[in-house]
Amino acid sequence: MSGIFKASSDNIIKGAEIIKNGGLVSFPTETVYGLGASIFNPKAVAKIFEAKGRPSFNPLISHIAEIDEMREFVKVDERALFLGKKFWPGALTFVLPRKNENPLLDIVCAGLSTMTVRCPNHNVALELIKKAGVPIAAPSANRSQTISPTTADAVYESLGDRVDMILDGGQCEVGVESTILDLTTPKAVLLRAGGITKEQLENALGEEVLISDGNPDKPTSPGQMLKHYAPNKKFRINAIEPMEGELYIGFGSEYDFGEMNLSKNGDLREAASNLFSYMRIADKNEKYEKIAMAPIPNEGVGLAINDRIKRASR
């Protein structure tokens, strides 16, 4: 099943089943159309990067239907509860500390210790999340470096059959991405301007909201974060074979002689879904002082893997 479908109750149920089974569904929000997958399915999330083209591992916004759903995977403070009750459902995204190191969420979070969460103000989006029974990770449903889509036709024009189903809920009301607010620091920091204004946030909080200064540690949006999870150990990439003291992470049958293998059959999606958790395991292995990783094909989602490990090896 692929193409555009009216966002009827029956089609939303079908879309939810696609999400449950590891597929991709594009759906409308009040801001732009999203390209969604279950946050607990790393392979499905890897498909998002592949479908968008020129992928890179950037944190994705996780969409929820009820404010209390946040408690499952992020640490919620009074500010988040207060602002969530005031502005959700709505075009406001929080950056909050992750509750634990669930490896299934590593690709959604780009290996970071934080997670981005919002509750969209659109009946189709909310119903899809509820029927799927899981939060849905979703960036904008368009090819990289193209205009964000505000109609189902624009999604199809950009992504075509890369999406298993496009739910047509009409024109998006807001048409610009959500505001992103970092709540991991004592002072709230605006990382991206959007549907909820700085003034609205300041009036609600009764205090100044800082603005990101462009430092890579304070990115302007999830798509622009430069600081990613990197191992504490020295990390060598494009390694043909391991050197003394290195834990070797292989890929495919050609490089299947190390302690670990991202995908023995050379499946780049499987490799992408395993990447962060394998790096964590390797970093904690006391038997080896260093880490090396086999060459990864620079195609499809392999572009994302190479971008990610290049950053991690710096």
Say if residues 4 and 166 touch (Cβ distance below 8 Å).
Answer: yes
Q: Residue 240: give the domain boundaries.
A: 234-312
What pTM does this model have?
0.82
Backbone torsion region of residue 214, taken as left when φ is above 0, otherwise alpha when ψ lies between -120 and 50, otherwise beta: left
**Ramachandran angles phi, psi of 293, nearest 5°:** -130, 140
Which one, of 180, 158, 159, lies nearest residue 31 by Cα? 180
Residue that terminates a domain, selected from 168, 196, 224: 224
Helices 123-132 and 9-20 meet at what angle, rounded to 10? 50
Are 152 and 283 contained in the same domain? no
pLDDT of the residue at 56 = 66
Considering the domain architecture, whether residues 66 and 142 belong to the same structural domain is answered as yes
Q: What is the CATH number of the domain that holds 261?
A: 3.40.50.11030
- Tell me: do 192 and 250 sit in the same domain: no
CA distance 242 to 288: 11
> Could you tell me if 214 and 244 lie in one domain?
no
Domain check: are 216 and 240 in the same one?
no
Domain boundary among 224, 258, 277: 224
- Mean pLDDT, 10 residues at a time, the chain of 314 residues: 92 98 97 96 94 79 96 94 97 93 89 93 98 96 83 93 97 82 93 84 95 54 47 93 96 93 92 82 93 91 80 76
* Final residue before a domain boundary, out of 173, 204, 224: 224
Cβ-in-10-Å burial (0-12, 13-18, 19+) of 313 comes to: middle
Residues 92 and 191 grouped into a single domain: yes
What is the predicted pLDDT for the residue at 273? 76
Residue 229 within any structural domain of the chain: no
Q: Are residues 245 and 210 in the same domain?
A: no
pLDDT at 307: 74
Q: In what order do the strands lie in the sheet with 260-261?
A: 234-236, 290-293, 246-250, 260-261
43 shares its domain with 170: yes
Domain count across the chain: 2
Give the model's pLDDT for residue 194: 79
> By three-state DSSP, how is residue 157 classified?
helix
Q: What is the CATH number of the domain that holds 155?
A: 3.90.870.10
Q: Are residues 175 and 306 in the same domain?
A: no
